[in-house]
């Protein structure tokens, strides 16, 4: 009886199989990048909204502080406090400084 001869064949890499593998990897890569970028975009939008809210709150604080400064530096208020402390104004010593005046 003759033994059957075993023939080892080399596996060939077919172009169709390589193309299918490349297509599959690219599809998974596309969807992975799509979802990652979408979630990153949402995160950036939330951070931008938080920054805008902080900026708005700070602008309101600045406006309130400017109003307080205007109220506190009112001349009548300062003179009233000075008179309560016994300090009298002397109009003879008033010097007017003009910004446009040059020497």
**Exposure letters 23-41 (e unless 16+ CB within 10 A, then b):** eeeeeeeeeeeeeeeeeee
DSSP sequence for 64-85: HHHHHHHHHT-HHHHHHHHHHT
State pLDDT tens for residues 50-102.
Answer: 999 999 999 999 999 999 999 988 888 888 888 888 887 776 666 666 666 55
In the numeric block, which tokens belong to residue 100?
A: 């446009």
For 13-64, write each residue's pLDDT tens digit: 688 888 999 999 999 999 999 999 999 999 999 999 999 999 999 999 999 9
CA atoms lying within 13 Å on the CB side of residue 13: 4
pTM: 0.54
Q: What is the DSSP letter of 100?
A: T
């Amino acid at each position: 009886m003759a033994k059957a001869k075993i023939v080892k064949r080399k596996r060939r890499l077919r172009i169709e199989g390589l193309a299918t593998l490349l297509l599959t990897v690219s599809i998974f890569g596309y969807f992975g990048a799509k979802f990652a970028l979408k979630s990153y975009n949402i995160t950036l939008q939330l951070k931008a909204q938080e920054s805008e809210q902080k900026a708005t709150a700070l602008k309101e604080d600045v406006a309130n502080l400017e109003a307080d400064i205007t109220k506190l530096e009112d001349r009548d208020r300062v003179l009233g406090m000075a008179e309560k402390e016994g300090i009298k104004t002397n109009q003879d010593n008033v010097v007017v400084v003009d910004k446009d005046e040059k020497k």
